[in-house]
Amino acid sequence: MKRALVLLVLSACARPVARPPVEPYREPPRVVAGPLEARPLLGDLPARASQLGAGALAIVASSPMAEGERVGAFVEIPKDACLLAYARSSASLEDIDLAAFAEEGNPVAVDEGPDPKPTVMICPPHPDRVYVAAHAAAGEGLCVIAAQLVPRDKADAVARAANAHGASPKSPETWPGLDDRVRQHRAALGGTWEELRRVAVAVDSRAVSTVGFTIEENGCTDALVVPDEDVAVVDVDVLDADGRLVARAKETLPIRSVTVCSQAPVAGSMQVRPHVGRGLVAVVVSKSKGDPKEMTARPEVAWASAGQPLDAAKTARDKALVKAGYGAATSTQSGQLQLGRRATLPIDLDPNACTRVDVVAGAPLALVDGAIWDGAGNLLASGDGADGATLFACGKGKARLDLGTRGRPGPYAVMLRPERWKDAAFAAHPLAASRMLGRFGPVFDGAPGRVRAASLDAAKRYVQDANIPAGACLRVAAGVEGEGTGLELRIFDAGSGEELDRGHGQNAASARACAGASALGLRIEARATAGRLDAVLGERLGAR
């Protein structure tokens, strides 16, 4: 018994048997849910902005980003307040772009400076909410977007402290002499007008901005567009509810206007885009009161549907073309267009030149579109218009003209003439040539100049030089064909490198530059947005 007790005591005092050590890497890692803490990247900017009058901070979005990626969210802005929005990043994200967009996709404010601290200030007039987005232009790392509301009277001080880009507080009433310009414009139009609204619209050369444009039955609507000092060469187009071009402001003065009359109600839109710069335009929209016939500026009024009987419309077109140097029509056909049906007409194309095809609409025909096909089924030309269309077919022999209407049915006439402007490039690239010629409009201004054929792609710019005599203007138009898409056309001062004008389009574009008291050398650049395209570029020289 004593021996058993001794053995028990000895066994209790013995050391425990050591187990093999557990290797840490064989255990699963511990996972902690949650985002990266991005608020410290903002530094002291939120506090500095608050000291100057800005409101509380809101984190719009934060995320790790690689080059080319985007992050953003919608932000609501009270009607009378400004919004300070800014993006900051870790040091490895070398360049960020920040932009605020309206819900239809138009940019409201943009900061694309080559740095990781983009900041914008958005002040009235502005949308009720904007989409604020950051884009990683170079590098990769953590990015955070923040926003603070700012009272209008504090916006200038906050914007200066934050080095913000974008729209400072401005209303149409702040344009110097705007009321005087409106009175002068209405006096030139004649008739009686009632102002519907005046707004300040943010515009950018890279995208169109849209304003509602409605016309009452048997009435007229006029828009006066006055740019600020930050933008130049403003395009103003009026579109119908289907997105078809109804009228375009003349490109003669910095201040643009367009007047559209319609026999039927039109719920359309007006697109505004500067060729150069980013800033604001004041838009004053008015409607006619009384009979539109009281207006004195009838040649500048574009009807949303044909306003003349067919015979009168044909006579007017013939007179305009004879004045421009064209001869009598070599062929004339007529008929009736019906909604939902297309008319097909055989036509004979001139063997020695492009053929000009004028489709003239008689009241009440509206919104005409046409296309010309050769015998092999290749598209030679296409186009549309509110009260007819002008097509240029650079082919030979038998062809087919297809016509249709999307507005109102009515009578039409088709008149063929040989085109006076000739060049070997037109036959080599017929569809591109047709689009280039059509870009100059129904009646060409100025004298024809050089024509060049070029191959365009997205990775390389096509460049050509040009010279403008003192007191003259040069318009360059380009048309393209091929498997690519999109066209960009730019004109630079050859001496200073300053961009003078630019144009964009799906298959055609134009740009214009004028010389002052001395001759001006130009550099003209063209580029495809994507893929490869064959282009025809034409020049016309006219008076300033």
- Which amino acid type is present at position 178? L
Backbone angles phi, psi at 469, to 5 degrees: -65, 160
pLDDT at 525: 96
CB 166 within 8 A of CB 156: no
pLDDT at 84: 95
At 185 the three-state DSSP class reads helix
Both tokens assigned to 364: 């009440």
CA distance 251 to 274: 12
Give the residue from 146, 148, 147, 143 showing the smallest Cα distance to 62.
143
499 CB contacts (<8 Å, ≥6 apart)? 276, 490, 491, 492
- pLDDT one digit per residue (tens) for the chain, 544 residues: 455 545 544 455 555 555 666 566 677 888 887 778 888 999 999 999 999 999 999 999 999 999 889 999 999 999 889 999 999 999 888 889 898 888 767 677 878 777 788 998 888 767 888 999 999 988 899 999 999 999 988 888 898 888 887 654 455 666 778 888 898 888 788 777 889 888 888 787 767 788 889 888 778 899 999 998 878 889 898 887 777 777 888 766 788 999 888 766 788 888 898 887 777 888 999 998 765 655 655 534 455 565 689 999 999 999 999 999 999 999 999 999 998 899 999 999 999 999 999 999 998 888 799 999 999 999 999 988 777 899 999 999 999 999 999 778 999 999 999 999 999 999 999 999 999 999 887 778 889 999 999 999 988 899 999 999 999 999 999 999 998 888 999 999 999 999 898 887 889 988 899 998 999 999 999 999 888 999 999 999 988 7
CA distance 304 to 308: 12
Residue with tokens 């066994």: 11
Give the residue from 342, 332, 394 showing the smallest Cα distance to 368.
342
pLDDT at 513: 92
Give the residue from 133, 88, 89 showing the smallest Cα distance to 110.
133
pLDDT at 373: 97
pLDDT at 18: 56
CA distance 286 to 263: 17
CA distance 162 to 238: 38
Residue with tokens 């037109």: 426
Domains of the chain: 39-169 (2.60.120.380), 173-303 (2.60.120.380), 310-420 (2.60.120.380), 438-543 (2.60.120.380)
pLDDT at 445: 82
pTM above 0.75, yes or no: no
pLDDT at 381: 96
CA distance 157 to 229: 22
